[in-house]
Amino acid sequence: MSPPPEKRGASSAQPHLGRRRHNSEEGEASSSSAARSLRPESHEVEVSAEDDNEGLVWPEPFVEAVARKVALAAAQGGGALAAAPALVTVFQVCSTWRTISHSEILWEALVQDVWEWDTSQTTRRPQSWRDEYIRLHSTASNFRHNRAKYTLIEYEVSSDSSGNGAGAVCRCLTLSPEYLAVGFFDGAVRIFSLTSKECVNTMKPPHENRLGPLSRAISGIVINDDRVVFASFDGNVFVGEVLTGLVRRAHVGNVVNDGTLVDFTGSEKFWVGLYAGIPGHACHIWDAVTEQLVFNAGDITDSEALRGWRLLTEQAERIGRVRVNRDGILLTATRFKVTVFDLESYGVSFRREEIAMDEQQQLIVESVDANNDWFLTASDDGAARIRRITDFEDSWAFSFAEAAATDANSANSTTSTSRSSSGNTNSDRRNRVRVFGALNTRQAFLCIEGSVHAWDAKSGMRLYRLDEWMGEVFDLVADDEHVAGCAIDTGIHLWSFRP
């Protein structure tokens, strides 16, 4: 790339990149209208040029390259929110440089650089990349400063849903860009619109209570566009259409041969089921296109076989979790260890870490979550960690013990009452703080005894606690626009951080 031309008789107009002024808070253009003007506030990158640029022609690719470099440097130093004020400084150099602020090519590149969005792979291309950048900035700012719209989602329960006393209770949920899918103990899956908060469809395929009253309970859900895939404890896997509600069975479960399907997840390429009950059959992987089983092996849940069978009759703690990231890497976790698989190799393990097995260091299974390159775990000693999913390096650690103690004391009477009334007789259940975790691109969320707390995923700094209390929780999920949770007594909770 050629440097800009110099004006004869004048000093060079090449921009000078000054030293960043670091601030403990991420720099940002404040939300909505302020974000739209990209007004600089803090964490600026100083850029200067000659005031008199009349007659000087600056190559557009050069100015775009400078803007990208400045924005990326600001984001790397102070977080993605710091890029907007740095860009404003660039656009204020002169009127010629201001015109570059309307370049869609530049804004598409900035969305990719600053917000780590692979624009070449997306199926949803916005009408304006500049507006998309502003939307991402405003949403991230809302997450950072706890500006959320809260909704307690209501739904109708049919008269036969609670035949075993637990049918109307939500067990698991998942988010897509348009929908929230919720699975229940009675085998039903309800789809809610994230825009209207209304129930779009209810799917409840026929089940047989073959080996226990909870064999039909939903173990996990995958939702992509207008298709939803979900599985139950008895190993059945179903495929449904979001808009029509039509459901078909894609895989017939076999509890005797495989055990209990304790968790289920997937992507557009793969479905993954984690089983417990039969040694050597922990991980099942299906090709999502052909719907054929391509892998059936693994020993990660061998020590949890008895607890796996008890899930068919009791509302017990989770045995394990599975997560798949965008690169096709599978993370499986139990109380004792975390295993990573490369799904492109259909389950060939390339990394394993054994979590300490002493009484004080066991992993809290409900806390495990993964997002792109990172995964979140929490242990019984009150510490949480965020680590790289491929090599377990570059980790951040933070303590949730203080928040846990506060919430446990304030909610002690309520939680003890709800636990005794839930009918849970699991002797393995310990009198310890219950923690559920969720991880999006920039925040880690831990629900501690019904209260949701947020930490910065990069630094481990505690940010805030959401105002609403959930009670006894069964699941918690988050993406870059929403946080959602389901609880035994209070139902489905949704926090939207959309601008």
> pLDDT, tens digit, for every residue of 367-391?
999 998 899 999 888 889 999 888 8
> Would you say residue 454 has pLDDT above 90?
yes
Nearest CA among 12, 10, 13 for reference residue 96: 13
Structure tokens, 475: 């699941």
Say what percent of the chain tops pLDDT 70. Answer: 76
Report pLDDT for 97: 84
Higher pLDDT, residue 157 or 162: 157
Report pLDDT for 390: 82
pLDDT-derived band at 341, boundaries 50, 70, 90: confident
DSSP code of residue 480? S
Q: Which of 19-33, 44-58, 304-318 has the lowest mean pLDDT?
A: 19-33
> Would you say residue 430 has pLDDT above 60?
no
Report pLDDT for 46: 44
Rounded Cα gap, residues 379 and 360, in angstroms = 8
Residue range 181-196: mean pLDDT, rounded? 95
User: What are phi and psi for residue 354, nearest 5 degrees?
Assistant: -90, 120
Q: Which of 149-163, 208-222, 255-269, 350-364 has the lowest mean pLDDT?
A: 350-364
Residue range 85-93: mean pLDDT, rounded? 91
Q: What is the mean pLDDT of the chain?
A: 81
Report pLDDT for 157: 67
**C-beta separation of 308 from 319 below 8 A:** yes
> Would you say residue 355 has pLDDT above 80?
no
DSSP code of residue 7? P
Nearest CA among 238, 139, 247, 240 for reference residue 194: 139
**C-beta separation of 253 from 277 below 8 A:** no
Report pLDDT for 131: 95
**C-beta separation of 74 from 35 below 8 A:** no
Residue 226's alpha-carbon distances to 166, 179, 223, 356, in angstroms, are 28, 9, 7, 42
Report pLDDT for 44: 40
Report pLDDT for 421: 34
Report pLDDT for 36: 45
Report pLDDT for 362: 86
Global pTM value: 0.82
Residue range 226-233: mean pLDDT, rounded? 95
Q: Which range in 91-95, 348-352, 434-438 is most confidently predicted, on average pLDDT?
A: 434-438
Structure tokens, 426: 């699991």
Q: Which amino acid, 383?
A: A
Helical packing angle, 129-144 and 104-115, nearest 10° = 30
Residue range 156-181: mean pLDDT, rounded? 75
**pLDDT tens column, 405-428:** 666 555 554 443 333 333 343 334
**C-beta separation of 422 from 429 below 8 A:** no
